[in-house]
Amino acid sequence: MMIILEAKINNINKNYLLIQLQNNKTESVLRIFIRLAQMKKRIYKLNNKEIRLGENEAHIWNFDLNKYLNLIDKFKSILSREELIRAGKFYFNRDKYWFIINRGLLRNFVSIYTSIPAKEIKFVFNNFGKPSLAIDGNSTHLHFNLSHSKNFLSIGFIINSQIGIDIELMNLSKDHLRIAKRFFSNSEFDNLFSFPADKLRDGFYSCWTAKEAVIKLFGMGLSFSLKDFDVELKELKPDESYKYKVNLKKQSADLFIEVFKLSNAIYGACAVDNEKAEFIHCYFEDENAITDLFA
Protein backbone atom coordinates (compact mmCIF):
# COMPACT_ATOMS: atom_id res chain seq x y z
CA MET A 1 0.00 0.00 0.00
CA MET A 2 1.34 3.44 -0.88
CA ILE A 3 0.00 6.64 0.62
CA ILE A 4 1.01 10.06 -0.65
CA LEU A 5 0.43 12.99 1.67
CA GLU A 6 1.07 16.66 1.04
CA ALA A 7 1.60 19.07 3.89
CA LYS A 8 2.47 22.72 4.26
CA ILE A 9 5.17 23.43 6.82
CA ASN A 10 6.74 26.82 7.46
CA ASN A 11 4.93 28.06 4.35
CA ILE A 12 6.90 25.70 2.14
CA ASN A 13 5.05 22.92 0.34
CA LYS A 14 6.72 19.58 0.93
CA ASN A 15 5.69 16.16 -0.29
CA TYR A 16 5.69 13.49 2.38
CA LEU A 17 6.17 10.39 0.32
CA LEU A 18 5.69 7.33 1.05
CA ILE A 19 4.48 5.06 3.81
CA GLN A 20 5.03 1.52 2.63
CA LEU A 21 3.51 -1.44 4.51
CA GLN A 22 4.46 -4.94 3.48
CA ASN A 23 2.51 -8.13 4.31
CA ASN A 24 0.84 -6.42 7.28
CA LYS A 25 4.14 -6.30 9.14
CA THR A 26 4.35 -3.84 11.98
CA GLU A 27 7.51 -2.20 10.69
CA SER A 28 7.10 0.56 8.15
CA VAL A 29 9.51 2.52 6.05
CA LEU A 30 8.99 6.27 5.93
CA ARG A 31 10.89 8.28 3.38
CA ILE A 32 10.57 12.04 3.37
CA PHE A 33 11.41 13.98 0.25
CA ILE A 34 11.51 17.69 0.90
CA ARG A 35 12.31 20.73 -1.14
CA LEU A 36 15.43 22.68 -0.48
CA ALA A 37 15.01 26.01 1.28
CA GLN A 38 17.12 28.99 2.20
CA MET A 39 18.72 28.82 5.63
CA LYS A 40 16.68 30.80 8.14
CA LYS A 41 18.83 33.65 9.43
CA ARG A 42 18.51 36.10 12.28
CA ILE A 43 20.63 39.25 12.28
CA TYR A 44 21.50 40.90 15.58
CA LYS A 45 22.83 44.37 16.15
CA LEU A 46 25.99 44.53 18.23
CA ASN A 47 24.13 44.26 21.53
CA ASN A 48 24.10 41.01 23.46
CA LYS A 49 20.92 42.05 25.28
CA GLU A 50 19.01 41.34 22.08
CA ILE A 51 20.08 37.69 21.98
CA ARG A 52 17.38 35.45 23.43
CA LEU A 53 16.87 31.75 22.88
CA GLY A 54 13.23 30.80 22.40
CA GLU A 55 11.89 27.56 23.89
CA ASN A 56 11.74 25.77 20.53
CA GLU A 57 14.65 27.51 18.83
CA ALA A 58 18.01 26.02 17.92
CA HIS A 59 20.55 28.82 17.43
CA ILE A 60 23.51 28.07 15.18
CA TRP A 61 26.50 30.44 15.20
CA ASN A 62 29.24 30.07 12.57
CA PHE A 63 32.69 31.64 12.82
CA ASP A 64 35.97 31.98 10.96
CA LEU A 65 38.45 31.73 13.84
CA ASN A 66 41.12 33.67 11.97
CA LYS A 67 39.01 36.82 12.32
CA TYR A 68 39.49 36.84 16.09
CA LEU A 69 43.24 36.47 16.45
CA ASN A 70 43.32 39.95 17.99
CA LEU A 71 41.26 38.59 20.91
CA ILE A 72 43.74 35.88 21.94
CA ASP A 73 44.82 37.65 25.14
CA LYS A 74 41.24 38.54 26.05
CA PHE A 75 40.07 34.97 25.59
CA LYS A 76 43.05 33.52 27.48
CA SER A 77 42.06 35.61 30.48
CA ILE A 78 38.69 33.85 30.79
CA LEU A 79 39.79 30.25 30.17
CA SER A 80 40.06 27.73 32.99
CA ARG A 81 43.39 26.35 34.16
CA GLU A 82 42.59 23.03 32.45
CA GLU A 83 41.83 24.80 29.16
CA LEU A 84 45.08 26.76 29.31
CA ILE A 85 47.04 23.56 29.97
CA ARG A 86 45.36 21.90 27.02
CA ALA A 87 46.09 24.91 24.80
CA GLY A 88 49.75 24.68 25.75
CA LYS A 89 49.99 21.11 24.48
CA PHE A 90 49.38 22.02 20.84
CA TYR A 91 52.56 21.79 18.77
CA PHE A 92 51.63 24.47 16.24
CA ASN A 93 50.76 27.99 17.38
CA ARG A 94 47.99 28.07 14.79
CA ASP A 95 46.20 25.16 16.48
CA LYS A 96 46.77 26.63 19.93
CA TYR A 97 45.29 29.97 18.88
CA TRP A 98 42.28 28.29 17.26
CA PHE A 99 41.61 26.33 20.44
CA ILE A 100 41.81 29.46 22.60
CA ILE A 101 39.43 31.35 20.30
CA ASN A 102 37.13 28.33 20.13
CA ARG A 103 36.78 28.15 23.91
CA GLY A 104 36.71 31.92 24.28
CA LEU A 105 33.78 32.26 21.89
CA LEU A 106 31.97 29.36 23.55
CA ARG A 107 32.36 30.89 27.01
CA ASN A 108 31.20 34.31 25.85
CA PHE A 109 28.09 32.98 24.12
CA VAL A 110 27.18 30.74 27.05
CA SER A 111 27.54 33.87 29.17
CA ILE A 112 25.18 35.76 26.86
CA TYR A 113 22.53 33.04 27.09
CA THR A 114 22.84 32.40 30.84
CA SER A 115 24.11 35.74 32.27
CA ILE A 116 26.90 33.82 34.01
CA PRO A 117 30.24 35.67 33.80
CA ALA A 118 32.34 33.99 31.13
CA LYS A 119 35.26 33.25 33.46
CA GLU A 120 32.98 31.61 36.05
CA ILE A 121 31.40 29.12 33.65
CA LYS A 122 32.14 25.49 34.49
CA PHE A 123 32.01 22.67 31.98
CA VAL A 124 31.69 18.97 32.68
CA PHE A 125 32.54 16.22 30.21
CA ASN A 126 31.12 12.76 29.70
CA ASN A 127 33.24 9.66 29.07
CA PHE A 128 33.43 10.47 25.36
CA GLY A 129 34.44 14.10 25.88
CA LYS A 130 31.10 15.78 25.15
CA PRO A 131 30.96 19.04 27.13
CA SER A 132 27.93 20.32 28.99
CA LEU A 133 27.27 23.20 31.34
CA ALA A 134 27.09 22.67 35.09
CA ILE A 135 26.45 25.04 37.97
CA ASP A 136 27.27 23.69 41.43
CA GLY A 137 27.02 20.21 39.99
CA ASN A 138 23.49 20.71 38.62
CA SER A 139 22.88 20.69 34.89
CA THR A 140 21.21 23.77 33.46
CA HIS A 141 18.45 23.92 30.87
CA LEU A 142 20.85 25.27 28.22
CA HIS A 143 22.39 22.62 26.00
CA PHE A 144 25.07 23.21 23.40
CA ASN A 145 27.44 21.48 21.07
CA LEU A 146 30.31 22.71 18.92
CA SER A 147 32.31 21.55 15.94
CA HIS A 148 35.32 22.90 14.10
CA SER A 149 37.05 22.10 10.84
CA LYS A 150 40.38 23.86 10.38
CA ASN A 151 39.65 27.52 11.16
CA PHE A 152 35.85 27.25 10.96
CA LEU A 153 33.67 26.81 14.04
CA SER A 154 29.96 26.15 14.54
CA ILE A 155 28.22 26.26 17.92
CA GLY A 156 24.62 25.17 18.43
CA PHE A 157 22.42 26.13 21.42
CA ILE A 158 19.00 24.89 22.51
CA ILE A 159 16.90 24.82 25.70
CA ASN A 160 15.56 21.64 27.31
CA SER A 161 16.65 19.42 24.42
CA GLN A 162 19.75 17.59 23.28
CA ILE A 163 21.75 18.93 20.35
CA GLY A 164 24.61 17.78 18.15
CA ILE A 165 26.37 19.73 15.42
CA ASP A 166 29.03 19.03 12.83
CA ILE A 167 30.81 21.20 10.28
CA GLU A 168 33.20 19.99 7.60
CA LEU A 169 35.51 21.81 5.23
CA MET A 170 35.24 19.76 2.04
CA ASN A 171 38.46 17.86 1.35
CA LEU A 172 39.15 17.50 -2.35
CA SER A 173 41.74 14.75 -1.89
CA LYS A 174 39.71 12.33 0.23
CA ASP A 175 38.67 8.97 -1.17
CA HIS A 176 35.01 9.60 -0.44
CA LEU A 177 33.71 6.31 -1.83
CA ARG A 178 36.15 4.28 0.25
CA ILE A 179 35.12 6.10 3.43
CA ALA A 180 31.44 5.81 2.53
CA LYS A 181 31.77 2.08 1.92
CA ARG A 182 33.12 1.68 5.43
CA PHE A 183 30.76 3.94 7.37
CA PHE A 184 27.56 4.50 5.36
CA SER A 185 24.58 2.16 5.34
CA ASN A 186 23.94 0.15 2.18
CA SER A 187 21.13 2.45 1.06
CA GLU A 188 23.23 5.56 1.71
CA PHE A 189 26.14 4.15 -0.25
CA ASP A 190 23.86 3.24 -3.16
CA ASN A 191 22.41 6.75 -3.06
CA LEU A 192 25.88 8.31 -3.04
CA PHE A 193 26.99 6.12 -5.93
CA SER A 194 24.12 7.54 -8.00
CA PHE A 195 25.49 11.10 -7.74
CA PRO A 196 27.32 12.50 -10.79
CA ALA A 197 31.09 12.44 -10.32
CA ASP A 198 31.29 16.22 -9.96
CA LYS A 199 28.60 16.18 -7.22
CA LEU A 200 29.93 13.22 -5.27
CA ARG A 201 31.55 15.35 -2.59
CA ASP A 202 28.28 17.19 -1.97
CA GLY A 203 26.44 13.93 -1.46
CA PHE A 204 29.17 12.61 0.80
CA TYR A 205 29.31 15.65 3.09
CA SER A 206 25.53 16.02 3.31
CA CYS A 207 25.52 12.47 4.68
CA TRP A 208 28.69 12.60 6.79
CA THR A 209 27.81 15.82 8.64
CA ALA A 210 24.31 14.54 9.44
CA LYS A 211 25.68 11.28 10.83
CA GLU A 212 28.29 13.10 12.89
CA ALA A 213 25.63 15.47 14.29
CA VAL A 214 23.56 12.48 15.40
CA ILE A 215 26.55 10.80 17.06
CA LYS A 216 27.48 14.05 18.81
CA LEU A 217 23.94 14.58 20.09
CA PHE A 218 24.18 11.32 22.02
CA GLY A 219 27.76 12.07 23.06
CA MET A 220 28.71 8.43 22.57
CA GLY A 221 31.55 8.73 20.10
CA LEU A 222 31.56 5.81 17.68
CA SER A 223 30.23 3.42 20.32
CA PHE A 224 27.29 2.70 18.05
CA SER A 225 27.66 2.14 14.36
CA LEU A 226 27.13 4.84 11.77
CA LYS A 227 25.51 2.12 9.67
CA ASP A 228 22.69 1.67 12.18
CA PHE A 229 20.65 4.56 10.79
CA ASP A 230 19.95 6.21 7.45
CA VAL A 231 20.11 9.90 6.57
CA GLU A 232 19.20 11.81 3.42
CA LEU A 233 21.82 12.84 0.83
CA LYS A 234 21.33 15.97 -1.26
CA GLU A 235 23.39 18.52 -3.13
CA LEU A 236 23.13 22.05 -1.75
CA LYS A 237 24.07 25.51 -2.91
CA PRO A 238 25.53 28.01 -0.42
CA ASP A 239 22.90 29.25 2.08
CA GLU A 240 20.57 26.37 1.25
CA SER A 241 19.36 23.78 3.75
CA TYR A 242 16.95 20.91 4.14
CA LYS A 243 15.34 19.26 7.16
CA TYR A 244 14.06 15.80 7.91
CA LYS A 245 13.31 13.28 10.64
CA VAL A 246 15.40 10.23 11.48
CA ASN A 247 14.22 7.30 13.57
CA LEU A 248 16.89 5.48 15.55
CA LYS A 249 15.32 2.21 16.59
CA LYS A 250 18.23 1.02 18.73
CA GLN A 251 18.12 4.23 20.76
CA SER A 252 14.29 4.43 20.62
CA ALA A 253 14.61 8.03 19.53
CA ASP A 254 13.34 10.36 16.83
CA LEU A 255 15.78 13.08 15.81
CA PHE A 256 15.29 16.13 13.64
CA ILE A 257 18.12 17.25 11.38
CA GLU A 258 18.97 20.29 9.33
CA VAL A 259 21.77 19.98 6.78
CA PHE A 260 23.15 23.29 5.53
CA LYS A 261 25.86 24.65 3.26
CA LEU A 262 27.70 27.77 4.40
CA SER A 263 29.86 28.28 1.32
CA ASN A 264 31.07 26.40 -1.73
CA ALA A 265 33.44 24.46 0.52
CA ILE A 266 31.63 24.04 3.87
CA TYR A 267 28.82 21.66 4.80
CA GLY A 268 27.23 21.43 8.23
CA ALA A 269 24.41 19.66 10.04
CA CYS A 270 22.56 20.09 13.31
CA ALA A 271 20.51 17.40 15.07
CA VAL A 272 18.04 17.89 17.93
CA ASP A 273 15.49 15.70 19.72
CA ASN A 274 12.77 18.37 19.68
CA GLU A 275 10.33 17.96 16.80
CA LYS A 276 9.16 21.57 17.22
CA ALA A 277 12.65 23.01 16.96
CA GLU A 278 13.26 25.82 14.49
CA PHE A 279 16.84 26.03 13.20
CA ILE A 280 18.05 29.64 13.13
CA HIS A 281 21.46 30.72 11.84
CA CYS A 282 22.50 33.75 13.88
CA TYR A 283 24.76 36.58 12.77
CA PHE A 284 25.69 40.06 13.87
CA GLU A 285 24.77 43.00 11.69
CA ASP A 286 28.43 43.98 11.47
CA GLU A 287 30.44 40.77 11.61
CA ASN A 288 33.76 42.60 11.79
CA ALA A 289 32.61 44.56 14.82
CA ILE A 290 31.93 41.44 16.90
CA THR A 291 35.34 41.94 18.47
CA ASP A 292 33.92 45.01 20.23
CA LEU A 293 31.40 42.81 22.03
CA PHE A 294 34.09 40.80 23.78
CA ALA A 295 36.82 43.42 23.98
What are the angstrom distances between the C-alpha of 75 and each of 46, 130, 136, 151? 19, 21, 23, 16
Ordered by start, the domain boundaries in the chain are: 1-35, 37-294
Residue 63: name the closest of 116, 105, 107, 25 by CA: 105
> pLDDT by residue (tens digit) across 167-219?
999 998 889 999 999 999 999 999 999 999 999 999 999 999 999 999 999 98
Q: Is the pTM of this model over 0.75?
A: yes
Whether the CA torsion 258, 213, 92, 101 is positive or negative: it is positive
First to last CA, the chain: 62
Q: What is the DSSP letter of 233?
A: -
Strands 240-248 and 253-263: antiparallel
pLDDT in tens, 92-132: 999 999 999 999 999 999 999 999 999 999 998 888 888 88
According to CATH, the topology of domain 37-294 is Ribosomal Protein L22; Chain A (3.90.470)
